[in-house]
Amino acid sequence: MKKVHNFTAGPCVLPQEAIDKTIEALKDFKGTGVPVISISHRTKEWESVMDECRSLWRELLNIPEDYEILFLHGGASMGFLYVAMNFLEKKAGYLETGVWAKKALKEAKGLGEAYAVASSADKTFCYIPKDYEIPSDLDYFHITTNNTIYGTEIRYDMDCPVPLIADMSSDIMSRPVDVSKYAMIYGGAQKNVGPAGVTFAIVRRDILGKVSRYIPTMLDLRTHVEGKSMFNTPPVFAIFVMNETLKWLKSIGGVEAIHKINVQKAELLYGEIDRNPLFVGTAAKEDRSIMNVCFVMAPGYEHLQDEFMAFAKERGMTGIKGHRSVGGFRASIYNACPLESVQALVDCMKEFEQLKK
């Protein structure tokens, strides 16, 4: 069978170890004789998975004890509403760095006063805004740390005069994070830490219960804290795969180790984009994402786009088509994407260059 190199933007590449463990659990979960997709979430066997998964999150990211770790439904898109519903009282500020940041801001505007403190929309979100001031009268400041569509990333933990909330859907666990600098971190699991179907949230307890509005039960984060993420039936399959993915991450040295690998992969691919006359990167070099590498055909070679896409597909590259809103190419090199696959894509680009000389 032809080797496939998966660069899709999500659902993500998963480690083979996690896939193999999941296959076993689909047949028999922890010796119960019941497949994991049919197990009751009220059994001690399942509760042990929930406990282990929370423990792995806390260990891998050094999450302080005054933070709750939640496993929720609805994806980061529901997270946009969780944030505004639970924390917007008077006014909130957002850093507008792409499509998902804009959507998060839209949800907040539906509940109160919210605005973009800074935006990179003027240059099609190809950079991260700088030299802006965060007003001290905000209820919170919201950022999207990695922008999958445009390939930019905030790779540092900023100092913030108000509670800082971050959507880290596509770069969580890819680099060390100082969780103590954030009031809340949330995101969909399907980029780096598991399959689609579960949303993670890391929230500091002391910021809950501060708004005066009525919060519907399912949108109140306190509901899920009190219910230990099992107020209603949790997405057991997705959480199981997440747990196995985090066990794999721990086994290879944790977040610090995977960050070094991620940087190596990104430098390899960006290096070829910058060297190869047929291609050009689309994100500002100082803001390039180590998770989503976006590029296009260089000026004068635009007519070769479809030909290169077919050429790459023939050689086992899948998922490199850019988002429909921007076109071009995008290689998502999440945690479990091996260096071997990145090297294969680089070799493919070099081979195509030789053919077109």
Q: Which residues are catalytic?
A: 100, 167, 191
Question: In whole angstroms, what is the distance from residue 214 CA to residue 2 CA?
Answer: 55
Helix (H/G/I), strand (E/B), else coil: 190: coil
Helix (H/G/I), strand (E/B), else coil: 78: helix
Q: Which residues have CB under 8 Å from 97's CB, separation 6+?
A: 119, 120, 125, 128, 129, 143, 144, 147, 150, 152, 154
Burial of residue 20, with CB atoms counted within 10 A of its CB: 0-12 exposed, 13-18 middle, 19 or more buried: exposed
User: What is the amino acid identity at position 55?
Assistant: S
Nearest residue to 77 via CA among 111, 112, 109, 101 = 101
Question: In whole angstroms, what is the distance from residue 354 CA to residue 229 CA?
Answer: 54
Cite the DSSP H helix spans in the chain: 16-27, 44-61, 75-87, 99-109, 221-226, 236-251, 254-275, 305-314, 339-356
Tokens read off for 244: 């196995």
**172, 184 Cβ separation under 8 angstroms:** no
**What are the beta bridge partners of residue 91?**
113
In the chain, what are the helix, strand and coil shares in percent, each to the nearest 5? 40, 15, 40
Give the Cβ contact number of residue 213 at 10 Å: 10
Helix (H/G/I), strand (E/B), else coil: 179: helix
**39, 32 Cβ separation under 8 angstroms:** yes
Residue owning tokens 């770069």? 171
User: What is the amino acid identity at position 345?
Assistant: L
